[in-house]
Amino acid sequence: MAQVLEFRLPDLGEGLTEALIVRWLVEVGEVVAVDQPVVEVETAKAMVDVPCPYGGVVTARFGEEGTELPVGSPLVTVAVGSPAHLDPVGDAAEGSGNVLVGYGTSEAPARRRRVRQDQTAPAAPVALDDTGVRAPARVDGPVPVISPLVRRLARENGLDLRELAGSGPNGLILRADVEQALHADATRPGPSAPTAAPEPAAHPTATPAEGVRVPLKGIRGVVADKLSRSRREIPDATCWVDADATELMRTRVLMNGAGSPKISLLALLARICAAALARYPELNSTVDLEAREIVRLDRVHLGFAAQTERGLVVPVVRDAHTRNAESLSAEIARLTEAARTGTLTPAELTGGTFTLNNYGVFGVDGSTPILNHPEAAMLGVGRIVPKPWVHDGELAVRQVVQLSFTFDHRVCDGGTAGGFLRYVADCVEQPAVLLRTL
């Protein structure tokens, strides 16, 4: 007889507390193999296909596309066993044996139940108050809440979770339940007061502005938290300089001659950054506040800002200091394509030690960016445009770029930051400088 096993949404490796269901990859009644992806979810870091460790027939799915599920909540149930209708998966009932973060398949599942596809459990009656809003019954025993974010939201607003009826699987209380309860409390009319004859207002009453509320979640929420922490903890400073990039552009044209692998401008700038960090290693560091120590890092993992439809992401080129321009260009191209398609892994979005930010693609000249916590420095590159410039003692039209450098003032003083930026500008103006210092 088939046994129904429940697969719960695992921790996908970044300690995340929830994920957004983007697309179901299987239907109820479909036969799945061991470790076959069953759903595509969006975490705060990337898009991830979640594989199910069991093989059998999908008997239930939890959560519609576009809804958010907390880590640990039921995702799918799978009927496994040896009946005839499960022959396509053979002995898959034992599971893959693979261990996902936060979900071990080698252990018995936390909860098992039998499900018949032609039978649906009757929905529990829902009481409504006189305003048409669901009136939840008080819950006895442990409150069915997984997400610590939900608990904090309720605590900060003085909301008793025991008075809520969760809309999630098995009565699980979701963030949407808390927000709905808070909205209902805010809009519920208070006790009526005795009416009195209206008095003419001395001044006209202004109508408060109302707008659209956009939840800070997913990538947008993570970016907001990280930038707020950076501004709160890091005393940053910015310096900038204009540079003549004519020779750098000419060098790139020569390097991309017939038959040669194409090298991007960003790759050349990344190569210059790696060389500059070798001369000024204190800028490839982080600050340990608890130990009150500056940690100088021995590897350059270079992040670069990439704007996508899902928001700003910063893919990381590992060991950038060991790569030549061709290798950097190929890796940047690969990571950029993965960012656009939403297939970057959490490992490709973390661990950076320095960031290169090319905001010139937006048609702007300068910026004072916020550091990518916990990094200590970031180089910003504006657009490269023809401008009047004094070259060899004469006025000429040259390709000019503004370079800005933001740094953590705790790791160095202005002399070090200025030296770094000047070296970068010299390499941009005379690429041969880079060859002399390698």
Q: Which residues contact 55 (CB under 8 A, 6 or more apart)?
A: 32, 33, 34, 36, 78, 80, 89, 90, 92, 93, 95
C-alpha to C-alpha distances, 69 to 20, 169, 174, 356, nearest whole angstrom: 6, 9, 8, 34
Long-range contacts of 175-181 (CB under 8 A, 24+ apart): 175/18, 175/68, 175/147, 175/149, 175/150, 176/68, 178/150, 178/153, 178/154, 179/153
What's the helix, strand, coil split of the chain in %, to 5?
30, 25, 45
* Residue 257 burial by Cβ neighbours in a 10 Å radius (0-12, 13-18, 19+): exposed
Q: Which residue has the tokens 């590897």?
A: 299
Q: Which of 59, 63, 79, 82 is nearest to 71 (CA)?
A: 63
Structure tokens that stand for 140 in this block? 């006895």
> What's the CA gap between 54 and 105, in Å, rounded?
9
Burial of residue 232 (number of CB atoms within 10 Å: 0-12, 13-18, 19+): exposed
Instruction: Determine which one of 85, 185, 413, 426 is catalytic.
Output: 413
Q: How far apart are CA 198 and CA 132, in angstroms?
A: 31
Based on the residue annotation, tell me whether 409 is a catalytic residue of this protein. yes
Task: Check: CB of residue 283 under 8 Å from CB of residue 329.
Answer: no
The CA distance from 43 to 69, in Å, is 10
- Check if the beta carbon of residue 317 is closer than 8 Å to that of residue 302: yes
Catalytic residue, chosen from 85, 183, 391, 409, is 409
Rounded-to-integer distance, Cα 143 and Cα 161, Å = 7
Angle made by CA atoms 324, 262, 399, in degrees to the nearest 5:
90
Residues marked active site are found at 409, 413
